[in-house]
Structure 1
Amino acid sequence: MPKYLNFMAALVTGFGLLAVPGAAQENSVTAIDIALEPDAIMIKHAEDANGRLRKVFPEGYALNTTHRPHITMLQRFVETAALDKVYAAVGDVLAAEKPAGWTMKAVKYDFLVWDKTGVTVILIEPTDQLIRFQQKLIDAIAPFTVEKGTAAAFFTTTDDREIGQPTID
């Protein structure tokens, strides 16, 4: 199933939504997901696969406006007061590494169980470039990272209010 992907990069909070400045200000800790977003072609492949799976198992994980195909590079709890600094640090890494121009190879479908729900994933071939990028992200936000957070650190919607312990962990 080799497919080649080009990526955009985004800093995501709440594990699925682009961060809205000020949205998490009432909490001292915010959950972030630094992610690469595939190009439109790969998003279409992911949505098609998700549609086929949901025809067989409608209760399964659904891609939607708050759950988009992406490659998680790093998930952390950070100080909410430092979000502007986190954005700047990630922006510096993005400017230096330029992942939007990278092409990656999707190698196979796999699955995992997430909070009692099966999730199909498309695995990509790791590259030295991707691993270096991830390490630079880890180093860049380390000064703002906190060890623990609670469900309050996550963005929720009216349709998806509950943050389970597996997500917090």
Structure 2
Amino acid sequence: MKNIFHFVSFFAIFMMSSCVAKRDRTIAIDVLLLLPQNLSEEAILLNTAILKNNPDNFTLDKDHVPHITLLQCYVRQSDLPKITMALNGLYNMIENESLWANELQYKKDQPQSFASIGIEKSSALLAIHERAIALVQPYITTGGSQNAFIPTKDGSPIDQFTIDYIPKFVSNYSYENYNPHISLGVSETSVLHYLEKNEFREMKFKAPAVAVYQLGKYGTARKLLWKSE
């Protein structure tokens, strides 16, 4: 009987430890602005054209949501309730602001380039970017790995560039270095020239919500964790 009691106790402690470890794992998140339908469709259209030229890209769809990043970082999963509570009210900063998707960004002097829809860095957009960092900063952690991301459907590993990029976002890609954009993928520059001339449309828009997503491969927004009301 004593052996059974010890076994049951050990099993209970093991299960509790496993649950705590699972809840407290490090995850990669994106605090982002969602897009109105017309701009989201524009991004998907351009991404589809890029995929035809270079299939080795991410696909923008309902599981890889087009968006504008405000902040990417690693956090503890157990801190998510505190983070989302801190972010309540953040959308008020941008709700009535008009934003401008004003260019197709890519390196025109190279044979191949990463492309994105550039968003004008207005004072309102910069302000909400900086406020998002300030609100989440107390919960940012380090040590993210493959397990911090939503797994790929084909089982391929998360790219090392993305794993290394996340903890550098605040130090290297924020404030004066912040470049608001909608990622589209990598393509031959000749294709991007054509898209810029014939397909891309400048667009004024308002962001319908702020959201938090868990990231996947190539920094895609994969799993919705929270959305402003």
Which bracket does the TM-score occupy, shorter chain normalised? 0.7 to 0.9
> 2:82 & 2:96 partners in 1: Cα distance?
25
> Which residue of the partner structure matches residue 43 of structure 1?
40
> 1:64 & 1:25 partners in 2: Cα distance?
28
> 1:124 & 1:78 partners in 2: Cα distance?
27
Selected match of 1:63 from 60, 77, 86: 60
- Counterpart check, 1:129 vs 2:124: yes
> 1:141 & 1:90 partners in 2: Cα distance?
8
Query: Percent identity between the aligned chains?
Result: 27
> 1:121 & 1:37 partners in 2: Cα distance?
15
- Counterpart check, 1:144 vs 2:139: yes
Residues 5-60 of structure 1 show CA distances to partners (whole Å, capped at 9, x for unaligned) of xxxxxxxxxxxxxxxxx9x9455211100111110000111111122222333333
Aligned partners of 2:31 and 2:71 also within 8 Å: yes
RMSD of aligned Cα (Å): 2.5
- TM-score by length of structure 2 reads 0.55
Structure whose alpha-carbon radius of gyration is higher: 2
> 1:64 & 1:159 partners in 2: Cα distance?
16
> 1:102 & 1:111 partners in 2: Cα distance?
26
1:1-169 equivalent positions in 2, closer than 5 A: 25-26=22-23, 28-94=25-91, 96-97=92-93, 99-111=94-106, 119-159=114-154, 161-169=156-164
Aligned partners of 2:75 and 2:141 also within 8 Å: yes
Quick one: higher RCO (CA 8 Å, sep 6+), 1 or 2? 2
> Which residue of the partner structure matches residue 13 of structure 1?
none
Aligned partners of 2:152 and 2:158 also within 8 Å: no
SS of residue paired to 1:162: coil
Pick the structure with more helix per residue: 2
Gaps spanning 5+ residues in structure 1: where? 1-21
- The residue type equivalent to 1:120 in the other structure is A
**In the comparison of the two structures, how many residue pairs are matched?**
141
Aligned partners of 2:28 and 2:73 also within 8 Å: yes
- The residue type equivalent to 1:54 in the other structure is L
Gaps spanning 5+ residues in structure 2: where? 1-18, 165-229
SS of residue paired to 2:86: helix
The farther-off stretch of 121-130 and 45-54 is 45-54
> 2:97 & 2:41 partners in 1: Cα distance?
18
